[in-house]
Structure 1
Amino acid sequence: MSSGIVFEQVSKSFPVREERGARNGRTRKGGSADFAAVRDVSLEIAAGEFLAVVGPSGCGKSTLLDLLGGLAEPTSGRVLVDGKPVRGPGLDRGVVFQQYALLPWRTAQANVEFGLEAKRVPRRERRERAREYLSLVGLDGFADRYPHELSGGMKQRVAIARSLAFDPGVLLMDEPFAALDAQTRESLQEELLRIWQRTGKTVVFITHGIDEAVYLGERVAVLTARPGRVKEIVTVDLPGRGDADGDVRSSPEFAHHRHEIWSLLRDESAARPGAPAARTESEAVHV
């Protein structure tokens, strides 16, 4: 089961304190001002789609995910999931963060069961479903391990299994592989594609990596510099993506989409105060 998502003219601002000056080495505080994180974002994500989101640092990528997850409220506009306004966190949306957020006193299986407990799933069914999803993410035989006994990649697999186990329509992922080494990151990218193809979930994936966005996303939403707006949506067509025997990252199609997104981001990166534009694509693998 998957869910469609709509952002309708969504803006989000945060109040901040203004600095009005200093006297005798003391800073005098002024009134409050608004810090605009995102502005007038309109975006439709189809049920079952994999959307990657990229943009310059500080452009509001994570803010959009917080709004979709119900962890923050829009200043204006609406966020809809299956046609219903998001009014807070809910079990229809699973979240995977960069930091694994596992409970250290629980085993891998007990971590996966956590969301099922909130849904009051019977104990026997919880146990069976947790083992099913641990198997789905390639962790057969690790159900009784504690987080400190697992590698970083294994911990992230547990986090993904936990988010999938209570069967959300939407999976929200905020740079989940950023802290991993390159080999583990690529392995988990392939694993995530396999899981997505098998489950049909709607996935919104935030990343700083252009290569990661191209490899994973059916479409890539490119945001402007702060305040973040949708600059362009790039449709990615990569034959053989997710094929273990292929090397899609070396294909002409991959290079084409990579260059297209890099070109869109080049001017936006230059718009950040004190941040010169990347001169080459290799300098802009992460934005």
Structure 2
Amino acid sequence: MAKIVFDSVTKTFPTKDRKNRRNRSNRQEFTALDGIDLEIEAGEFVVVVGPSGCGKSTLLDLLGGLTRPTSGRILLDGEPVTGPGLDRGIVFQQYALLPWRTALGNIEFGLEATGATRRQRTERAREFLDLVGLTGFEDRHPHELSGGMRQRVAIARSLAYDPDVLLMDEPFAALDAQTRESLQDELRRIWQRTGKTIVFITHGIEEAVYLGQKVAVITSRPGRVKEVVRVDLGDRATGATGEDLRSSTEFARHRHEIWTLLHDEVARARQLEKEEVAV
């Protein structure tokens, strides 16, 4: 049985007709996701990629239990997802750290709901600071850390209470290219070490290929699963000849395959935006 199952999941939001805002009878529906079917196995690293506005973040919110599907169902270990839970950790694009707490204190905060003693929280927080390479920065506050370091703290906080599934919503999008690539490597190492099931949202094709075992390509709005691409790059540390993975022939082939799938969807998304502006 798959770890996560999206079964004909549709999500709509109520809207109002722009020309008749005062007339309640003109309420309409905005469909963000339409009939999503997707299965994710335990321990898989799955990346979801699609054009802006296709419903990627909505999909993650549904899996996180932050909102409910309009129709269809989402199963985690065979049980319906009905709300947030400690079995899922979430890392957002914005770090969402508590500015008055240190790096160690922010990680401990994520453990307070587990019932662990203060000593247990501190020991586990130090363990996960070490896992993300921040030993020695325990007493630094968020404003004393770089963007990459803050995101490492956010990842450590989400992992510290040992969720089965890690949900990541474009966590590296706001970082510079060098920091982003460094954290991609760090995340792969953490995934290989912990064996967590990871669902990672991005709009970057190269990031999707570099990280994902499977890449789910989402259509322009309303979002549907266009295709699931299996990425086989062999040894993820280096290419077959010892070159950087991103320079390998297989990487280029997968990148082109996903780019081809996305090309028309991005064009449709832009056309939809133009039509909406014109209304």
Range class of TM-score, shorter chain: over 0.9
Query: What's the counterpart of residue 157 of structure 1?
Result: 152
For the residues of structure 2 that align with 1:18 and 1:94, how far apart are their CA atoms? Answer: 37
Query: What's the counterpart of residue 205 of structure 1?
Result: 200
Query: Which residue identity is paired with 1:247?
Result: D
Alignment counterpart, residue 261 of structure 2, candidates 250, 260, 264: 264
Does 2:132 align with 1:137?
yes
Query: What's the counterpart of residue 4 of structure 2?
Result: 5
**Matched position secondary structure for 1:20:** helix
Query: What's the counterpart of residue 124 of structure 1?
Result: 119
RMSD: 1.6
Query: Which residue identity is paired with 2:174?
Result: A
Q: CA deviation at 1:242?
A: 3.4
Equivalent residue pairs, number? 269
For the residues of structure 2 that align with 1:96 and 1:157, how far apart are their CA atoms? Answer: 10
**Matched position secondary structure for 2:187:** helix
For the residues of structure 1 that align with 2:179 and 2:166, how far apart are their CA atoms? Answer: 21
For the residues of structure 2 that align with 1:110 and 1:79, how far apart are their CA atoms? Answer: 33
Q: CA deviation at 1:274?
A: 3.0
Does the aligned pair in 2 maintain the 1:194–1:242 contact within 8 Å? Answer: no
Q: CA deviation at 1:269?
A: 1.1
How high is the TM-score relative to the length of structure 2?
Answer: 0.93
Query: What's the counterpart of residue 277 of structure 2?
Result: none
Query: Which residue identity is paired with 2:266?
Result: S
- Within 5 A, what are the aligned runs for 1:90-109? 90-109=85-104
Query: What's the counterpart of residue 24 of structure 1?
Result: none
For the residues of structure 2 that align with 1:191 and 1:202, how far apart are their CA atoms? Answer: 16
Q: CA deviation at 1:243?
A: 4.5
Does 2:252 align with 1:274?
no
Does 2:251 align with 1:254?
yes
Query: Which residue identity is paired with 1:12?
Result: K
Query: What's the counterpart of residue 276 of structure 2?
Result: none
Which structure is higher in helix share? Answer: 2
Query: Which residue identity is paired with 1:248?
Result: L
Return structure 1 stretches of 4+ with deviation > 4 angstroms: 27-30, 243-246
For the residues of structure 1 that align with 2:47 and 2:115, how far apart are their CA atoms? Answer: 33
For the residues of structure 2 that align with 1:33 and 1:148, how far apart are their CA atoms? Answer: 43
Query: What's the counterpart of residue 48 of structure 1?
Result: 43
Q: CA deviation at 1:273?
A: 4.3
Query: What's the counterpart of residue 183 of structure 1?
Result: 178
**Matched position secondary structure for 2:16:** strand
Gaps of 5+ in 1: 22-26, 277-287
Q: For residues 195 and 9 of structure 1, do their structure 2 counterparts lie closer, same or farther at Cα, with a shift above 3 Å needed?
A: same
Same amino acid, percent of matched pairs? 70
For the residues of structure 2 that align with 1:189 and 1:246, how far apart are their CA atoms? Answer: 17
Does 2:252 align with 1:238?
no
